[in-house]
Structure 1
Amino acid sequence: MQKPLINLHQRLHFLTKKHIFFALYLLLLLALIQLHHQHKKSLISHEVMRTKAEDGSAGRANMKCDFSIGKWIRNKAKPIYNGTSCGTIKEGQNCMANGRPDTGYLHWRWQPVGCDLHPFHPSLFLTLIQNKHLAFVGDSLARNQLESLMCLLSTVSQPELIYSSGDDNKFKRWAFPSYNATVSLFWSPLLVKHVEKEPSLGKNYNKLYMDSVDERWARELDEIDIVVFSAGHWFLLPAIYYDTAGGDVLGCHYCPEFNYTEIGFFDIFRKSLRIALNEVKRRRSRRRSSEKLVVLTTFSPAHFEGEWNKAGACSKMEPFKEGEKKMEYMDGEMRRIGVEEVRKGNDVEEEEEEVNGRVKYEVVDVTELALMRGDGHPGPYMNPFPYAQGYKERLQNDCVHWCLPGPIDAWNEILLEIIKSWK
């Protein structure tokens, strides 16, 4: 009578061992499948990051967030400064003080894809540049970005103007004594040695000398820790290019009355950028061992949708929606050239022996986010209360520079993130 019971126990024991073995085998199989998927996912992620780096994200050490791709989202928060609380705004960009009636352009934030761009933190920025010299070099958009930064910083620490020179104060320097920090502005719209056009004196062409850099900013590189370049729009103007001062003419851009070869401006822009970026490396300080940071703010598109002196030249009151505004060829090429030259600077730097400190190159890639903000320009409000005496059909418009406060403040939010990563 016991045998059937024993056989039953043996069968149950056998089944249990068999089931345990099968369960372990199944778990192992699932684990292997999961590892395969994770490995494949990792390879795909690595390939995406590598491709993005090769396609324009190069020059930014932190590839976790590509600030150049995203959208503008509504933001209820007020700007941390206004047209009366900041004393460094150029009159032509002080849209609020000049009577611009709409305020919607102030309530948007740039939202990158897959990450966040934090609101500007003035105290943190000043802490990061403590005991350092930050310089903006370039054209009026370099000045526009600098004035945005000075307004943001002045909300926690009032800057002291310690130097001002040149017509329209194109060379300026401020100090933040409590942080031992210095911020400078150098007017150099073509970066290389040049003579600017003066139509009133019959000088209708810029003259660029492609053998040397503009010494007005380059001679002070030894004392500069962070330099932000911003140039582009002046290269679109009529110009004659020389190999050396007083030397042979290489060609020109838009000079029909001369028998010079028309060579456009793309290659000249590239060469000028390369000269400027390389000059920082060539003159790296022999008295400092710390790394220098070189930042290029990419080309910012204009938004003239009519004649520059006609009503409605840039009359939008909201950002363009996704896909609504296509980037023009010229804007895209100017951006591409800038990104490529920064990438080359980093590639060469990595190959060279580190002597007297490295030079790190980064990009504040604003071309796409600026393209979408046709509502952020002064337009007719580059003039104080332009319609106070009634409507005018003909009136000068500014559809190149940016209202302060305005979209350009986001450029300095990106600059802060870059300096954080560098530090």
Structure 2
Amino acid sequence: MVSPFKDHQSHSPSYTHSFIKKILPYFIYVILPIAVIRLYLYSPTLPQSSTVHHHLPQPSTVHHLPHSTTPISITTPSSSSSSHEEEEKKPEAKETQCDYTDGNWVPDKMGPLYNGTTCGIIKEGQNCITHGRSDLGYLYWKWKPKQCPLPRFEPNTFLHLLRNKHIAFVGDSMARNQLESLLCMLATASPPKLVYTDGEDNKFRRWNFASHNVNVSVYWSPFLVKGVEKSKSGPDHNELYLDQVDERWAADMGKMDMVVLSVGHWFLHPAVYFEGGSALGCHFCPGLNHTEIGFYDVLRKAVRTTLKTITERRETSENGINVIVTTFSPAHFEGEWDKAGACPKTKPYNKGEKNLEGMDAEMRQVEVEEVEAAKVNGKGFSGFKVEELDVSYLSLMRPDGHPGPYMNPFPFFNGVKERVQNDCVHWCLPGAIDTWNEILLEIMKKWNRG
């Protein structure tokens, strides 16, 4: 390594020798004892961590990114820095609003807290490491907000804030994806115990962290409201009842202290919509006698019904409830879903390459607007807090984070095939989705500060 002082010119040997003879006694009898005493009295204390950092292979190359531009103006909750250095610099600084949507992905040598071989909770289709994905550069990026730092996830802090409480993830497979990310990060501090499972593909599960008596659940409910999912033996479309919440999760609402709602992708499927006992219309239902009405307003009604029902049912409860709505997470298909190279990117987008627009922006906007409306409508309920976990833009910028063909084990073991299944919707674990839970923790910390 080249010294940063290589251009400094040294003095002649005779001059240097004479100077050292003169200064050495002073150094030994005066300066050295002072330095030792200062080291003893003011030795810095290193931060302790009870988390286990599992070893991950390092990528061969990490690409540096310029700052990203973001079209998002809605701000998410504020968070003061947990950095001791920042506290020393600004001991009287007041908490400022932080927009976690405004930032860019930067290289991160530390990598994730866990890996796919040690967690034991990850759904097989998102376990990209064990399925043979070799380009591991996607593990070494960190989201850097423009206005504030985003601290590394602290599992013990998360568990402490939820001691003796129950957090439930409700929604579609993205809710499950986020849940499994959280479980794996928490497992680095405390082992979870599976205490309940039900439903096909384990769609209803609950874990308990005995160290803090924290319960973490997942409820499959791809519309949040009552719905009948299409099946091979029934109609080839979904049926949604937009004025009725899905009781498969809502029946347990009284036992929940915090609920994370995450839906969106299932609203793109063909469906017929009902409200007040009659059909409103449909989305992509040729051959049926219904009016095509799209899905944006339907998503709005579903989120509105859900948030309204939560406030109505919990308003009279002694214990409050905190609600998080995770915004729509864009997919990254390039071409056909079953063709090689459907999501081929190996690093985040650079500045200017991508903007949040079209359907992705519309879906996010609907969810953000309904959360903001719920804040106003729930002001009279002191035990009700609601916030959007706005991940749409930061997720859009990570086309490299999906399983792609590695949704199946070693898809190219027998050579590259022209047709191969690809998952460009869900996220590899560990990976970019871990950032969602880092921001979730910052929201919880802000709420805890009052």
Q: 2:202 aligns with which of 166, 169, 179?
A: 169
Aligned partner of 1:56 in structure 2 is: 74
Residue pair 1:126, 1:181 contacting (<8 A) in 2 also: yes
Give the Cα separation in 2 of the matches to 1:285 and 1:159: 31
**1:267-278 matches, cutoff 5 A:** 267-278=297-308
Give the Cα separation in 1 of the matches to 2:387 and 2:78: 8
Residue pair 1:77, 1:107 contacting (<8 A) in 2 also: yes
Q: 1:388 aligns with which of 410, 413, 417?
A: 413
1:258 and 2:288 equivalent?
Answer: yes
Residue pair 1:349, 1:358 contacting (<8 A) in 2 also: no
- How many angstroms does 1:390 deviate by? 1.3
Residue pair 1:293, 1:422 contacting (<8 A) in 2 also: no
Aligned partner of 2:338 in structure 1 is: 309
Give the Cα separation in 1 of the matches to 2:147 and 2:446: 18
Give the Cα separation in 1 of the matches to 2:315 and 2:250: 12
| Alpha-carbon RMSD | 1.5
Aligned partner of 2:439 in structure 1 is: 414
**TM-score using structure 2 length:** 0.78
Give the Cα separation in 1 of the matches to 2:388 and 2:234: 38
Deviant stretches of 4+, over 6 Å: none
- How many angstroms does 1:56 deviate by? 2.1
Distance 1:227 1:382, change over 3 A: same
Aligned partner of 2:263 in structure 1 is: 231
Q: Is the partner of 1:186 in helix, strand or coil?
A: strand
What is the letter of the counterpart of residue 275 of structure 1?
T
Q: 2:151 aligns with which of 113, 118, 122?
A: 118
- How many angstroms does 1:178 deviate by? 1.7
Aligned partner of 2:359 in structure 1 is: 330
Residue pair 2:243, 2:302 contacting (<8 A) in 1 also: no
What is the letter of the counterpart of residue 258 of structure 2?
I
Give the Cα separation in 1 of the matches to 2:363 and 2:177: 19
Q: 2:314 aligns with which of 272, 277, 284?
A: 284
Give the Cα separation in 1 of the matches to 2:394 and 2:333: 17
Aligned partner of 1:403 in structure 2 is: 428
What is the letter of the counterpart of residue 74 of structure 1?
P
Give the Cα separation in 2 of the matches to 1:153 and 1:373: 23
Distance 1:362 1:328, change over 3 A: same
Distance 1:113 1:61, change over 3 A: closer
Aligned partner of 1:213 in structure 2 is: 245
Q: Deviations over 1:81-136 (max 9, x none)?
A: 00111011000000000000110000000000121100101111111110110000
Structure 2: stretches of 5+ with no match in the other structure: 1-71, 80-95
- How many angstroms does 1:196 deviate by? 0.2
Q: Deviations over 1:264-289 (max 9, x none)?
A: 00000000000111111111164524
Q: Is the partner of 1:110 in helix, strand or coil?
A: strand
Give the Cα separation in 2 of the matches to 1:61 and 1:253: 38
Give the Cα separation in 2 of the matches to 1:109 and 1:126: 23
- How many angstroms does 1:326 deviate by? 2.7
Stretch deviating more after TM superposition (375-384 or 218-227): 218-227
- How many angstroms does 1:202 deviate by? 4.0
Q: 2:326 aligns with which of 271, 293, 297?
A: 297
- How many angstroms does 1:60 deviate by? 3.0
Aligned partner of 1:195 in structure 2 is: 228
Residue pair 1:56, 1:340 contacting (<8 A) in 2 also: no
Give the Cα separation in 1 of the matches to 2:400 and 2:296: 28
What is the letter of the counterpart of residue 351 of structure 2?
E
Q: 2:179 aligns with which of 146, 150, 153?
A: 146
- How many angstroms does 1:349 deviate by? 1.6
Give the Cα separation in 2 of the matches to 1:203 and 1:392: 34
Aligned partner of 1:83 in structure 2 is: 116
What is the letter of the counterpart of residue 133 of structure 2?
R
Aligned partner of 2:29 in structure 1 is: none
What is the letter of the counterpart of residue 397 of structure 2?
M
Q: Deviations over 1:368-407 (max 9, x none)?
A: 0000000000000000000111111101100000000000
Aligned partner of 2:389 in structure 1 is: 364
What is the letter of the counterpart of residue 60 of structure 1?
P
Give the Cα separation in 1 of the matches to 2:234 and 2:446: 48
Q: Is the partner of 1:71 in helix, strand or coil?
A: strand
Q: Which of 1 and 2 has greater Rg?
A: 1
What is the letter of the counterpart of residue 226 of structure 2?
K
Residue pair 1:223, 1:285 contacting (<8 A) in 2 also: no
- How many angstroms does 1:259 deviate by? 2.1
**TM-score using structure 1 length:** 0.83
Give the Cα separation in 2 of the matches to 1:167 and 1:69: 39
Give the Cα separation in 1 of the matches to 2:125 and 2:153: 24
Aligned partner of 2:376 in structure 1 is: 347
Give the Cα separation in 2 of the matches to 1:177 and 1:233: 34
Give the Cα separation in 2 of the matches to 1:102 and 1:278: 45
Aligned partner of 1:33 in structure 2 is: none
Q: Is the partner of 1:210 in helix, strand or coil?
A: strand
Larger helix percent:
1
Residue pair 1:346, 1:361 contacting (<8 A) in 2 also: yes
Q: Is the partner of 2:314 in helix, strand or coil?
A: coil
- How many angstroms does 1:55 deviate by? 4.8
Residue pair 1:84, 1:97 contacting (<8 A) in 2 also: yes
Give the Cα separation in 1 of the matches to 2:375 and 2:77: 10
Give the Cα separation in 2 of the matches to 1:55 and 1:102: 34
Give the Cα separation in 1 of the matches to 2:377 and 2:140: 42
Residue pair 1:81, 1:155 contacting (<8 A) in 2 also: yes
Give the Cα separation in 2 of the matches to 1:232 and 1:130: 30
- How many angstroms does 1:140 deviate by? 0.1
- How many angstroms does 1:323 deviate by? 1.1
Kindly, what percent of the aligned residue pairs are identical?
56
Distance 1:121 1:153, change over 3 A: same
